[in-house]
Structure formats: structure tokens, C-alpha cells
């Protein structure tokens, strides 16, 4: 049984059994890697005191509510949670409703096949539906969904990177790119907090990613940041 793109999302949304999740893991993460390399990837434990993006590894991380979804995710506090929760909210409002178990954040055991997955241990990254968008699999988003993803990245001014742009792709992955206290990180967090405190005309739930001006800005940002 091979599930890709929308069929994976429908399968997850329609079923909550452990057997279904196990099936998706088998045909997703492991199956993709086996097809690409001929063998399953070997997870490795991150040993550093800081994650790959320079954030300190945490023994615990607080749980944060994702507005409008009824879901929660563990993340580092302060600017990290402000920015990453904005990503999750926009996904929920503009791509697809988040369900129980869709969003993964901080973990005490940063075992992964790629160094960037260590960022979960510092609470400075999250994965949205990692079973639907597993490591090594690309092309899982429809064009209109990619418009939203690109708009989010542009709006956040390079403070967040998307795993779909990585050489070792993971389209469920979003991570902070700047170290704690960086002026641009703080500025983007203040901007989001201003939207939340304002009349509701800006921010998640009030954004039109398809506005021609936003499309132009997002395309320019993508070209500017392309490796």
C-alpha cells in the first residue's frame, strides 16, 4: 500500500488506530529511504549541548496551545514559540485543519537521521504531520499549499527554514534559523505579537497568501534565499 500527498492526509484524518500509524511509518519514512538508498537509514543520537541551529538543548519544554486548532505542542518559550506557533496556526487556517498528533515539537530524545532533527531537542523546530510528509519524500504539497508555505517563509523574513528546501528533504519540518536573541528574530516575534494584540486584521487567519503583492514578495524571497 503506497500513500502519497493528499491520500496520506485523508488516510490519517479518517483513521486514528495505532495500526494505521504504523503502516504509514513503514511505507513513509523507511520505505522512501529504502527506495532511495537500498537500505534503511540509521538514526543517531545528538550529543551536543546545543542543537544544530545553535539553540540550547532542553531537559523540558512547556506545552503551547495552537490557537484555533485545539492542539498543543512543546516548544522553547519566548521568541521561539511565538514564531513557530505562527507557522502552525497558518498551516491550520490556510492548508488543512490540525488534528490530534499532527504537530510534533520538543523531544527529550533527539534521535534522527539528519543533524537538523537535533533542533527538536532544543524546542526550536516543529514537524507538522511527519507521517504525511516523511524524511526523504518530496512533492507532497499541492501548488496552492506551496503558495502558503512560501508566503509564511517570506513573511517571517528568513527566521524560519522549511525542510522541503533541504538537500535531505523533510517537508513536515520547520526550524528557526537564527540563534537566541538575534535582532531579526526578536523583531519578527514582536511583529507577530503586535498582530495578536491588534484588531485582527493581520496575521494567521487574516492573511491572503494569494494577494498579487504577497505572491511577488514571496517569489522574490525564494529567489534571494535559494542555494
pLDDT tens for 87-141 read 999 999 999 999 999 999 999 876 778 999 999 999 999 999 999 999 999 999 9
- Split at pLDDT 50, 70, 90, the class of 156 is very high
Report the candidate in 140, 153, 103 with the shortest Cα–Cα distance to residue 125: 103
pLDDT at 177 over 50: yes
Non-local CB neighbours of 51 within 8 Å, separated by 6+ positions: 57, 110, 118, 119, 120, 121, 122, 124, 125
CA distance 9 to 192: 29
26 membership: H or E segment, kind and range:
none
Greatest mean pLDDT among 41-45, 165-169, 197-201 lies in 165-169
Interval 2-60: pLDDT, tens: 344 444 454 444 433 333 333 333 333 333 333 344 444 566 678 889 999 999 999 99
Note the pLDDT of residue 199.
Answer: 84
What angle (nearest 5°) sits at the alpha carbon of residue 121, between those of residues 94 and 57? 130
CA distance 150 to 157: 11
Quote the strand ranges of the chain, DSSP E: 44-45, 63-66, 71-74, 103-104, 111-112, 125-128, 160-162, 173-176
Note the pLDDT of residue 210.
Answer: 97
- Split at pLDDT 50, 70, 90, the class of 151 is very high
Note the pLDDT of residue 47.
Answer: 80
Q: Given CA atoms 165, 187, 79, 177 in this order, what sign does their dihedral have?
A: positive
Note the pLDDT of residue 41.
Answer: 56
CA distance 147 to 210: 7
Residue 144 grid cell: 496552492
149: left (phi over 0), alpha (psi -120 to 50) or beta: alpha
46 membership: H or E segment, kind and range:
none
Note the pLDDT of residue 110.
Answer: 65
3-state secondary structure of 72: strand
- Split at pLDDT 50, 70, 90, the class of 63 is very high
Question: CB-based burial of residue 20 (10 Å sphere; 0-12 exposed, 13-18 middle, 19+ buried)?
Answer: middle
The answer to whether 93 and 68 have CB atoms below 8 angstroms apart is: yes
- Split at pLDDT 50, 70, 90, the class of 227 is low
Note the pLDDT of residue 36.
Answer: 42
Amino acid at each position: 500500500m503506497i500513500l502519497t500527498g493528499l491520500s496520506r492526509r485523508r488516510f490519517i484524518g479518517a483513521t486514528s488506530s495505532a495500526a494505521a500509524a504504523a503502516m504509514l511509518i513503514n511505507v513513509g519514512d523507511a520505505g522512501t529511504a529504502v527506495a532511495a538508498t537500498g537500505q534503511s537509514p540509521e538514526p543517531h543520537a545528538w550529543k551536543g549541548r546545543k542543537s544544530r541551529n545553535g539553540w540550547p538543548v532542553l531537559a523540558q519544554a512547556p506545552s503551547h496551545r495552537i490557537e484555533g486548532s485545539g492542539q498543543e505542542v512543546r516548544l522553547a518559550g519566548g521568541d521561539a514559540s511565538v514564531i513557530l506557533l505562527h507557522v502552525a496556526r497558518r498551516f491550520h487556517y490556510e492548508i488543512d485543519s490540525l488534528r490530534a498528533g499532527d504537530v510534533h515539537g520538543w523531544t527529550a530524545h533527539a534521535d534522527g537521521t539528519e543533524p537538523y532533527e537535533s533542533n527538536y531537542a532544543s524546542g526550536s523546530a516543529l514537524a507538522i504531520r511527519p507521517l504525511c510528509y516523511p524524511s526523504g519524500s518530496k512533492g507532497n504539497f499541492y501548488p496552492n499549499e506551496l503558495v502558503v508555505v512560501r508566503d509564511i517563509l517570506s513573511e517571517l523574513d528568513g527566521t524560519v527554514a522549511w525542510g522541503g528546501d533541504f538537500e535531505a528533504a523533510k517537508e513536515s519540518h520547520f526550524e528557526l534559523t537564527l540563534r537566541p536573541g538575534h535582532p531579526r528574530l526578536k523583531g519578527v516575534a514582536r511583529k507577530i505579537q503586535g498582530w495578536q494584540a491588534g484588531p485582527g486584521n493581520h496575521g494567521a487567519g487574516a492573511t491572503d497568501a494569494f494577494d498579487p503583492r504577497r505572491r511577488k514578495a514571496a517569489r522574490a524571497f525564494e529567489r534571494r534565499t535559494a542555494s
